Structure 1
């Protein structure tokens, strides 16, 4: 989307496009209706001055946070006044592009109540949450425990004499720490605590705890709550009030325990529901599929900035062409940038598939079919880990690809990185998640002779064949066969998993031995996840993509697969499936893909349809008028409010005059 009608410095680039741009926009949006809603909400936000991000990186923390409250309130008012649907409201908040308390309220608090609350509890709490008469957060992580949920220390002890739970934080490390929205905004917290009845610990359960008065927003008695402090980066994630929370024997009604999966009766008896605990997995799949889509969006923003700027920036040259060359012409730039462009497209395709996976999981859960849950859990855990890690690194790589100007906040890239990088930790530490995938692979291999693997692990059913056959590629074009590519990734993954499984099988089977082999286990999990990403991108191509964009998507798919093959050449070679010569042939094919992307590069990032307002980048402007806006932007810097800087008389002048010891000096 273009935000103005000025001169288009990138018109020549756009004229080279060899695909149907409008069809690609619709594809990336997820369909015509989704495209129309996205376009409408993006323009609504871009045209509303309240949502401006122009001075965000220059604001002090208090002003920054107060401004985020203003925007969140204005967004909610806009949603109500315009009668926006839930989908439209979600899109509007997305384009406001500012981490704030509403993220956890809508993204975690409400889904948790849906997934873990009884019908009666949902009827009580959801109407209040939907109209934002209460504001909720998700308080799981503690100062001393994050990924190890079973190690949480906060307690909820039942008192049958009053029919209440007593919430308590017994140690400093039991302090809830990091929940977004907790610090200053939330009125209620969905607290994960150790359930204790009659001195027996029943493990971790969820409770809805009021933490602030609905009258004046002050903390309730014996509740200590606040913001944990400034985080990495400028604006970034500092618009979010990540908080701390402690309870000093705070009483809440028994009914505030979410009881879909377990109940505590009035006399203190703990009763497990006949509903399987796996019912809670639906919310987890929902959140993680959203994270994968977000990875594509954030990476596409960074790539859009880097591609457009690379087409504008000119450096050096050669004797065959007069003048300086566009940076995007250099093969070194292409080899770093184009795979990231392809990765953004790959993640979008996988995100679409994960939406259908979520729909399938929910249908199965409603039919009490839990057969696919282990595979789905491993799949979503691994994809969350891989996509967030690669996206965080990819944003930083795009900053480097923009040279010195990429270091300016005006580029949009430093703040984008600071806002995104927490994704590598929340909803599961990425290394821990890969180890969960590895455990799934080990269990699948141990049962392969009895139980046929399904879904993304189905290839392990062919473990014998994949362990013995080798790659048949003899010429470069042999790689341009999706079945050949898939078999290469399947063989690599199967062999790595089998090798580490064999090593563990020869040992004692202890947890210490598992820990000793975690580097290899993480590698095998990563290989499995990369296979999923390649295979699902290929599947998307084979399920009816429009003719006007299919060829470009095929180029991007091969680019993604070849770049993964080459980046992980050591693994492919170590497993013995491919040879060094076959890797070299893949490298040549990847260069051919770069040649096909080059004339389409700017149009391919245009297809993401990011407004200038949403990108917030002088380097990534649609019109390519980079230098004018960098220059004009410098005059908005507060240091330039005066010609002579404040502090000159006290500190600079004494140095310049060598009069450091004069009586008037305050040094």
Structure 2
């Protein structure tokens, strides 16, 4: 054990195991996760860790050990594949959830037992704008079939993952039905592989090398009427259409995936913080005081400023991910009972948080990499691979700007309801007070002594102000004679800012609520400090907003920086312990810089020596090409 990392773990002020339990959702969940890790991954003789050839074995192990819970499946796959993406990811996170949520009972029993499927929604010419999808599904009453067709080049389905025809007995298509007949309701179809389906690979990508992404072109493919997923909507034999109670019901898979992405942003950021903070604890460089020993770079305030707010953000996003999955499961239950009242809010929140968390985590990965200096550039650090694999999340399952604007539509609708005298509940209830809140500065002194509840209130006021400013922008554009669509387009910068502030407020509120639930004094104290750091760091980044909202004065601005510095110093003694609580196993982390034992340099040298170029001191190319050339000279 490296003496620096060992010293960091001495004199702990909180119980790491209890914090890990909170992150997992309880001690039983922690034990189950570790059981899966130890039994099915690390100590299973059938596995060669990270080798794609073990894929069939992995499927069989899931069945053998009865792993069917989506969270446990996600644990298992992420443990087995580490930071990479595996070929069956789309099957488990999109294909199966779609069947679970959109099949009627007969379809469920017929299709779910099938081995592998894929999900084809995005087209070459349209992605997030679902109503723009061009693939047609025309019902033929004479044969009781749908005729599926790709009428244009841009209508070819693009990016479906795992589309190898040898392993795809079933394809899920997401298509808006004819506007005249079905009012552009987004419908799902189960499509067996058959003639008329043209598929191929789309070529190399930025990452996701293990995932076989391709294209899918339909040439008048006929499928039975019963292959339309009919839990919520149906086409009757006579061609009549039964509408769903809400068009958003078919968005369930996307909401589920976006909820998973929120938590995954926290997981990825926690991995990067683990690597960067452990490395910063054993790396010594430069001098703070001339003539003295080189300090740990974690003692530099600038290094703390880079990493500790990201550490707080990782915890915030993990708790937000828990909230989203719990909320999704609860509302899904309500939907099954016929209560759709919370579906629009969940859809809007999942869209906004998907964008908010992935943008932040994507930037945070690069900050962690650069905080490791030159060694962070090496693939041995794992940080380059993590970045390459994570950055597509800013565009898949909804391009982030479009996601923010979807949230903005819900916020604008909510604001208009308040204007009309309605009382709102749920995540946007703070808009009820938008005309009644006293926007007075906090204390008259220059000191900023705020508790966590007060900070949440300030973020609430900021969000309400930016929502109102966005609404006013649209109103002003309309007053200038612009049509509704142009008024919206000319206000989108304000709308994205409003959505971002709403999401920031929600994440902080979730963090506060989680802190309030923690009973252990030591864990409560350190989590409270992190929640304060998350809030104060955001206040420093968006000082102008808080000044404009009237909750901060110019005289108080220096206190924000002073408070931030104090919180960094407060986190410093617990930094390594806080990343230990994430419980990332060395084999899963796969980073020479993030090793639990801190023996970075020994591992780095061994990693370098394992390069194929080091098998011989002189590469064979010298003897084959250069040496004969030298002889001729």
TM-score category, normalised to shorter length: over 0.9
| Residue in 2 that maps onto 1:589 | 563
Q: 1:36 aligns with which of 31, 56, 73?
A: 31
- Per-residue deviation at 1:374? 2.5
Describe the SS at the equivalent of 1:316: coil
Assess if the C-alpha contact under 8 Å between 2:4 and 2:281 holds in 1. Answer: no
TM (norm. structure 1) is 0.88
| Displaced runs of 4 or more, over 6 A | 197-201
Q: Measure, in 2, the Cα distance between the counterparts of 1:506 and 1:271.
A: 41
| Residue in 2 that maps onto 1:353 | 323
Describe the SS at the equivalent of 2:326: helix
| Residue in 2 that maps onto 1:374 | 344
Structure 1: gaps (5+ residues): 1-5, 57-66, 212-219, 663-667
- Per-residue deviation at 1:240? 1.0
Assess if the C-alpha contact under 8 Å between 1:158 and 1:197 holds in 2. Answer: no
Q: Measure, in 1, the Cα distance between the counterparts of 2:511 and 2:34.
A: 25
Name the CA shift for 1:409/1:259 in 2 (closer, same or farther; >3 Å). same
2:199 corresponds to 1:225? yes
Q: 2:42 aligns with which of 23, 41, 46?
A: 46
Assess if the C-alpha contact under 8 Å between 1:466 and 1:495 holds in 2. Answer: no
- Per-residue deviation at 1:14? 0.5
Q: Measure, in 2, the Cα distance between the counterparts of 1:583 and 1:42.
A: 47
Name the CA shift for 1:200/1:27 in 2 (closer, same or farther; >3 Å). closer
Q: Measure, in 2, the Cα distance between the counterparts of 1:495 and 1:653.
A: 74
- Per-residue deviation at 1:653? 6.0
| Residue in 2 that maps onto 1:216 | none
Q: 1:254 aligns with which of 225, 239, 242?
A: 225
- Per-residue deviation at 1:650? 7.0
2:394 corresponds to 1:424? yes
Per-residue CA deviation, residues 132-163 of structure 1 (Å, 9 max, x unaligned), is x3311110001111011111111122222322
Assess if the C-alpha contact under 8 Å between 2:431 and 2:464 holds in 1. Answer: yes
Size of the aligned set, in residue pairs, is 623
Q: Measure, in 2, the Cα distance between the counterparts of 1:107 and 1:491.
A: 36
Assess if the C-alpha contact under 8 Å between 1:260 and 1:273 holds in 2. Answer: no
Per-residue CA deviation, residues 363-408 of structure 1 (Å, 9 max, x unaligned), is 3323322233322222111111101111111111111111111111
- Per-residue deviation at 1:201? 7.7
2:464 corresponds to 1:494? yes
2:356 corresponds to 1:410? no
Structure 2: gaps (5+ residues): none
| Residue in 2 that maps onto 1:59 | none
| Residue in 1 that maps onto 2:211 | 240
2:609 corresponds to 1:635? yes
My pick for the range that moved more, 603-612 or 30-39, is: 30-39
Q: 1:465 aligns with which of 436, 440, 445?
A: 436
2:54 corresponds to 1:71? yes
Name the CA shift for 1:500/1:292 in 2 (closer, same or farther; >3 Å). same
Per-residue CA deviation, residues 246-273 of structure 1 (Å, 9 max, x unaligned), is 1122221111111223222233x13124
Assess if the C-alpha contact under 8 Å between 2:186 and 2:247 holds in 1. Answer: no
My pick for the range that moved more, 523-532 or 178-187, is: 178-187
Q: Measure, in 1, the Cα distance between the counterparts of 2:367 and 2:626.
A: 38
Q: Measure, in 1, the Cα distance between the counterparts of 2:489 and 2:67.
A: 51
2:603 corresponds to 1:619? no
- Per-residue deviation at 1:186? 2.9
Name the CA shift for 1:80/1:378 in 2 (closer, same or farther; >3 Å). closer
Describe the SS at the equivalent of 1:261: coil
Q: Measure, in 1, the Cα distance between the counterparts of 2:626 and 2:548.
A: 62
Per-residue CA deviation, residues 606-636 of structure 1 (Å, 9 max, x unaligned), is 0000000110000000000001111011121
Assess if the C-alpha contact under 8 Å between 1:9 and 1:625 holds in 2. Answer: no
Per-residue CA deviation, residues 72-99 of structure 1 (Å, 9 max, x unaligned), is 2221122233444535444222211342
| Residue in 2 that maps onto 1:138 | 119
Q: Measure, in 2, the Cα distance between the counterparts of 1:49 and 1:566.
A: 52
2:13 corresponds to 1:12? no
Describe the SS at the equivalent of 1:280: helix
Q: 2:107 aligns with which of 97, 110, 121?
A: 121
Q: Measure, in 1, the Cα distance between the counterparts of 2:301 and 2:55.
A: 44
| Residue in 1 that maps onto 2:528 | 554
| Residue in 1 that maps onto 2:174 | 192
